[in-house]
Amino acid sequence: MEKQNFAAIVRAMEIYFDGLYQADSKTLANVFHPDAWYVNALEGDYMNRSMLEYYTVVGGRVLPAQTGDERDDQILSIKFGVNRMVFVEAQMTMSGRVYLD
């Protein structure tokens, strides 16, 4: 693993965290592949959305940044796979909830 690749992944995660905190779909689009899917199981509610659907949901949120909501995000691990595959485990506390990605 080159330090340069590691730094690029950390920067992409910073953009991701900023996009979530600002509820900014355009910022998030800079880190997600257009063909990516948002999949989540929350309290028994399974969600499977295209990025366009996900961006619409994000864009409709009350911005945590505007409400003064504390932001606490961190990268828990970065693992490099093969063929440009990277696995990132991250955690963010926002709007009174803890998210694990």
| 71 within some domain | yes
| 38 within some domain | no
Report pLDDT digits (tens) over 18-28.
998 888 999 99
If pLDDT is split at 50, 70 and 90, which confidence band does 10 have? very high
| 42 within some domain | no
C-alpha neighbours within 13 Å on the C-beta side of residue 2: 4
Total-model pTM? 0.84
**How many folded domains does the chain comprise?**
1
| 93 within some domain | yes
Query: 96: which residues sit within 8 A by CB, 6+ positions away?
Result: 69
Residue 55: name the closest of 19, 99, 25 by CA. Answer: 25
| 8 within some domain | yes
Report pLDDT digits (tens) over 34-88.
899 988 887 778 889 999 998 998 888 888 778 878 889 999 999 988 877 889 9
Structural domain including 27 reads 3-33+62-100
Residue 79 corresponds to which tokens in the numbers above? Answer: 């693992």
Please give the pLDDT value at position 2: 60
Please give the pLDDT value at position 40: 83
| 68 within some domain | yes
Query: 55: which residues sit within 8 A by CB, 6+ positions away?
Result: 25, 28, 29
| 48 within some domain | no
Q: What is the dihedral of CA 18, 52, 39, 85, to 10 degrees?
A: -70
